[in-house]
Amino acid sequence: MMITIIDYGSGNLRSAAKAFERAALAVDYAGEVIVTSDPEVAAKADRIVLPGVGAYKDCRQGLDAVSGMYDAIEEAVQKRGIPFFGICVGMQLMATRGVEHGITEGFNWIEGDVVKLEPADKTLKIPHMGWNELEISSDHILLDGINPGAHVYFVHSYHMQPTSADNVLATVDYAGPVTAIVGRDNMIGTQFHPEKSQEAGLRLIGNFLNWKP
């Protein structure tokens, strides 16, 4: 059993790996946590985690620059049903496209666009940075034990707007709804950083490790 955290030059990989290792101990998950830039290793994974920090376009280009990595992820997740967890821009890449610094095609796993945050209250700062309270809109099994109002940690200026509300598991309010968690089939993504979100983040990771979609 192996969890692979994809290294393509974007994301706080050490922090993410430590959070997944800690959650694995908490739920008695026997799998090994591996950070890798090797598509052959990713192809053999039982679970795949895609972090991401920075601009959407840069992250997509960084992933595409790792020869064979996108194809390995696509094969594992879309064809073999391996559980997938996208974090921050890693979650945004699941969308159809992003509009930051021009139009950039995403994976189109969850139909919708990644657009600039434009809160109704213009005094609110962009990027949206810090703690916010989850508004849970689904009884998805991955949210087991996570209560409405749980605090999670964000750092972002863009957010996903899925075409179907059925794919939105939770939002937060930032002078308007902001997508916080998306999910479909064997895939989940969080706009917030679960590795920085303390109890709620570790609970979500633990649920993912035990998930059998």
88 is a catalytic site residue: yes
159 is a catalytic site residue: no
Out of 128, 156, 159, 193, the active site residue is: 193
Out of 59, 88, 100, 156, the active site residue is: 88
Out of 59, 128, 159, 195, the active site residue is: 195
The set of residues, in sequence order, having a beta carbon less than 8 Å from that of 193 and lying 6+ positions away, is 12, 87, 88, 152, 153, 154, 155, 201
Which are the catalytic amino acids? Answer: 88, 193, 195
